[in-house]
Amino acid sequence: MAEWSFLTNHARVLLFMARQPGARIRDVAQHTGLTERAIGSILSELTEDGYLTKHRLGARNFYELHPELPLRGADEDDHQVGELLGLLLERQRG
């Protein structure tokens, strides 16, 4: 049976970046089980669509999250990214 998840790869990467905005692509790939190339592509898409802003500090990239933006999808656009991340991050803290 194939492995699957309720969260898309984009959501998983966004959640990881919310926890560790200065994480290296290699770290995100190891945590999510995706390739570095896939992570780079997902980060580019999230940045292009405004969900993340990339900042460079020396040799490192840091990603600023914009939780006020709507979730993408036909049934989710009345909810914000921050709502989903808040639920998932709160569960880890509690």
* Number of other residues whose CB lies within 10 A of the CB of residue 25: 18
pTM, two decimals, is 0.87
pLDDT band at 4 (very low <50, low <70, confident <90, very high): confident
Kindly report, residue by residue over 73-85, the tens digit of the pLDDT: 767 778 999 999 9
Can you name the residues that pair with 80 across neighbouring β-strands? 70
Q: pLDDT of 5-35, one tens digit each?
A: 889 999 999 999 999 999 999 999 999 999 9
- Report CA-CA distances (Å) from 31 to 56, 57, 60, 83: 22, 23, 19, 22
pLDDT tens track for 35-56? 999 999 999 999 999 999 999 9
Structural domains in the chain, sorted by start: 9-93 (1.10.10.10)
